[in-house]
Structure 1
Amino acid sequence: MASELLDALTLLEKEKGISRDVLIDAIEAALVSAYRRNFNQAQNVRTDLNLENGSMRVFARKEVVEEVFDPRLEISVEEAQQMNPNYQVEDVVEMEVTPKDFGRIAAQTAKQVVTQRVREAERGIIYSEFIDREEDIMTGIVQRQDPKFIYVSLGKIEAILPANEQMPTEHYKPHDRIKVFITKVEKTTKGPQIFVSRTHPGLLKRLFEIEVPEIFDGTVEIKSVAREAGDRSKISVHSDNPEVDPVGSCVGPKGSRVQAVVNELKGEKIDIVKWSDDPVVFVANALSPSKVLDVIVSQDEKATTVVVPDYQLSLAIGKRGQNARLAAKLTGWKIDIKPESEARQAGIYPRDERLLIFDDEIEEDSDID
């Protein structure tokens, strides 16, 4: 028993990073509970675990008092001094009370404690590893599913993909390999619980970081993302280096980089537009692929009125308003789109002082269909 326990403690200390002293303290505390539970004893006791010979002993601790009111916790001065003449009032006397068959109970208890501590340590290691990966991307393997969740193996642990985080255009089968975005890591009584998503805008951002070296090294920055998962997304990009084309970097040679992201998202369309700190330029870019004639800004309301050619109105608004909705999410500005004829009738277009000549200054963007 002693050698087996000693070997087990040494192995756990080496492989799991669990201190031997921590394990011994836990075992001794569990032995106290086991003694009280199995032998119906309520006195104050401590246990002594000797790793050299494998012995496990129980000692009752009693306070020396002049008059005994509770013999389970107290001992008289006279009785204590019979054991050792040096005992005085308020001293603590320890007497061995190890039951005959305590060894079997102790061994079983020690095994349970070690098993529990190993489980807790493994859970702690997994939690520490994954809490640092919140808002990161991982590749997982679909294991199984029920009406509420799909369970995705991330190697050491199974993550949960809720129904509202699943792309409506995707159908998942066991053993499918998918990339997921870790949204939340929780510590529960049953161990760490990992929640992942396929619809989160962060997934799109991380995929571009993987595919585009300029984003990974910080040369190009993704400023904002607007996504309707499974259908269409828009991202705005910027570079402080005037020699770098942020849109072209994301598109890649012959569209290879953006196409890799589209393939991972099972055909989701992606618009890549150039970011600007000028809302006039940014809103006009964000409404791509529609042509924009003018953008009238209301700073107080953080709203814009956008004038587009009559024949481009439906393109600017998009199917079920999607293009305008995504552009508003991307820029953070309210967008009201008006056709040129209506704007002329209302007297808001053309203006005397144009903020921007869009035909000349708005750059081409990328629209992957």
Structure 2
Amino acid sequence: MSSQLFDALNSLSEEKGIDKEILLEALEAALISAYKKNFKSASNVRVELNENTGKMAVFSRKTVVEEVEDPQQEVSLEVAREIDPNHEVDDIIEVEVTPKDFGRIAAQAAKQVVTQRVREAERGVIFSEFVDREEDVMTGIIQRKDSRFIYVNLGKIEAKLAETEQIPNEEYNIHDRIKVFVTKVENTSKGPQIFISRSHPGLLKRLFEMEVPEIYDGTVEIKSVAREAGDRSKISVHAQDPEVDPVGSCVGQKGQRVQAIVDELKGEKIDIVQWSEDPKVYVSNALSPSKVIEVLVDEEEKATTVIVPDYQLSLAIGKRGQNARLAAKLTGWKIDIKSESEAREEGILSEVEDAYSNDDEDLFE
């Protein structure tokens, strides 16, 4: 064993970013395995590596006993005391058993084992690096596609974008650079596996954090996100400071901030609404851009009945019920939308509310 091996381990450690102690442990394990295999030894052995001299030694570890039954594992007290008069029964002694040609045999046998351990250690480094990126946004380049996944290069590893995590109707071309949301990082027998998404609501939330400084520094808080990827999303925001406009902060000057996110999501419409602890206000805001006359709240069922002007009914419900569905997801409240005339027929509107809606129809135009 020459110092060249230790030089190679040092270079490998720096190149792969692997702790040298891990490599030395792998090498020791490989040498022990090689010794037992090539010299048909069942004894308990230890390998000592001396980085300063570049040498190695193999020691057989045996238990001191009165009467030897297994020479591979035991040594008599008489023999042990020849080595050291202070030895007692049950002591462990070590005897060097390094074969003359062990260096050549061990190097050959150890190569495959060390390579495997290096691979495992390298995978561990990658896993440790990426496991902290769960629920975060990363930028990658599309490398290839198959029938199940789109593979996105994130630098040290390829991540998998499943069909169910893609934005409907979005084109994914080889070499395209895209932002993705890391949903899960797993350490498998085949190495780290990273699963990503373009449709997850978390992507929208993280994009706002990246684009809006007030969200990043905590001045504005994202309370909830509801998303139908590729089509439309709603996001509710809140600011503790009454002087801060949370919706305006997200929209940005001339809509620049929200437009940057819309562009990244290939035209997905985004409604930004103000959160409120009052469910009447919150549900009303969530149904934007529709106008609302009244919100009736059933706390026990966590359900609301929302009354809107007749001409706003289709807008409130949205195409294929999308606006109402997203508002319900955003607020966590069930939402039943009724037109003003329907509510009047069912006697839901009070006389005061009825009079108010009749006298102020222009308010909703």
TM over 0.5: yes
Tell me if the contact between 2:23 and 2:118 (Cα under 8 Å) persists in the aligned partners. Answer: no
Q: Structure 2, unaligned stretches of length 5 or more?
A: none
1:242 & 1:85 partners in 2: Cα distance?
85
Aligned AA (1:102): F
For residue 265 of structure 1, what is the aligned residue in structure 2?
Answer: 265
Tell me if the contact between 2:230 and 2:268 (Cα under 8 Å) persists in the aligned partners. Answer: yes
TM-score computed with the length of structure 2 as normaliser: 0.88
For residue 61 of structure 1, what is the aligned residue in structure 2?
Answer: 61
Q: What is the CA distance between 1:101 and its match in structure 2? A: 3.3
Aligned AA (2:8): A
SS in 2 for 1:171: coil
2:205 & 2:62 partners in 1: Cα distance?
66
Q: Does 1:280 align with 2:280?
A: yes
For residue 367 of structure 1, what is the aligned residue in structure 2?
Answer: none
Aligned AA (1:193): Q
Q: Output one character per residue of 1:304-323: Cα deviation in whole Å (capped at 9) or x when no partner.
A: 00111222211111111111
Matches within 5 A, 1:265-344: 265-344=265-344
TM-score computed with the length of structure 1 as normaliser: 0.87
Q: What is the CA distance between 1:350 and its match in structure 2? A: 3.5
1:164 & 1:326 partners in 2: Cα distance?
19
For residue 142 of structure 1, what is the aligned residue in structure 2?
Answer: 142
For residue 201 of structure 1, what is the aligned residue in structure 2?
Answer: 201
Q: What is the CA distance between 1:265 and its match in structure 2? A: 0.7
1:86 & 1:291 partners in 2: Cα distance?
95
1:93 & 1:253 partners in 2: Cα distance?
78
Q: Output one character per residue of 1:5-26: Cα deviation in whole Å (capped at 9) or x when no partner.
A: 2223434555656554554343
Matches within 5 A, 1:185-196: 185-196=185-196
2:350 & 2:184 partners in 1: Cα distance?
50
For residue 48 of structure 2, what is the aligned residue in structure 1?
Answer: 48
2:76 & 2:195 partners in 1: Cα distance?
61
Aligned AA (1:41): S
SS in 2 for 1:313: helix
Moved more, 160-169 or 237-246: 237-246
For residue 234 of structure 1, what is the aligned residue in structure 2?
Answer: 234
Tell me if the contact between 2:237 and 2:247 (Cα under 8 Å) persists in the aligned partners. Answer: yes
Classify 1:22/1:323 alpha carbon distance in 2 versus 1 (closer, same or farther; 3 Å).
Answer: closer
Classify 1:19/1:263 alpha carbon distance in 2 versus 1 (closer, same or farther; 3 Å).
Answer: closer
SS in 2 for 1:290: coil
Moved more, 249-258 or 91-100: 91-100
Question: How large is the RMSD of aligned CA atoms in angstroms?
Answer: 2.8
2:121 & 2:153 partners in 1: Cα distance?
20
Classify 1:73/1:294 alpha carbon distance in 2 versus 1 (closer, same or farther; 3 Å).
Answer: same
Aligned AA (1:2): S
Aligned AA (1:276): S
Identity among equivalent positions (%) equals 72
Classify 1:80/1:253 alpha carbon distance in 2 versus 1 (closer, same or farther; 3 Å).
Answer: closer
Q: Does 1:165 align with 2:168?
A: no
Q: What is the CA distance between 1:77 and its match in structure 2? A: 4.1
Aligned length: 360
Q: Output one character per residue of 1:34-86: Cα deviation in whole Å (capped at 9) or x when no partner.
A: 21123322122222333344433323333333322222222334555566666
Moved more, 307-316 or 1-10: 1-10
Classify 1:276/1:10 alpha carbon distance in 2 versus 1 (closer, same or farther; 3 Å).
Answer: same
Moved more, 249-258 or 147-156: 249-258
Q: What is the CA distance between 1:198 and its match in structure 2? A: 0.5
Matches within 5 A, 1:4-23: 4-12=4-12, 18-23=18-23
Tell me if the contact between 1:27 and 1:109 (Cα under 8 Å) persists in the aligned partners. Answer: no
Q: What is the CA distance between 1:111 and its match in structure 2? A: 4.1
2:237 & 2:216 partners in 1: Cα distance?
13
1:82 & 1:251 partners in 2: Cα distance?
87
2:94 & 2:138 partners in 1: Cα distance?
57
Aligned AA (2:311): Y
SS in 1 for 2:261: helix
Classify 1:245/1:66 alpha carbon distance in 2 versus 1 (closer, same or farther; 3 Å).
Answer: closer
SS in 2 for 1:72: coil
Tell me if the contact between 2:36 and 2:42 (Cα under 8 Å) persists in the aligned partners. Answer: yes
Q: Structure 1, unaligned stretches of length 5 or more?
A: 365-369
Classify 1:342/1:89 alpha carbon distance in 2 versus 1 (closer, same or farther; 3 Å).
Answer: closer
Moved more, 169-178 or 241-250: 241-250
Moved more, 188-197 or 16-25: 16-25
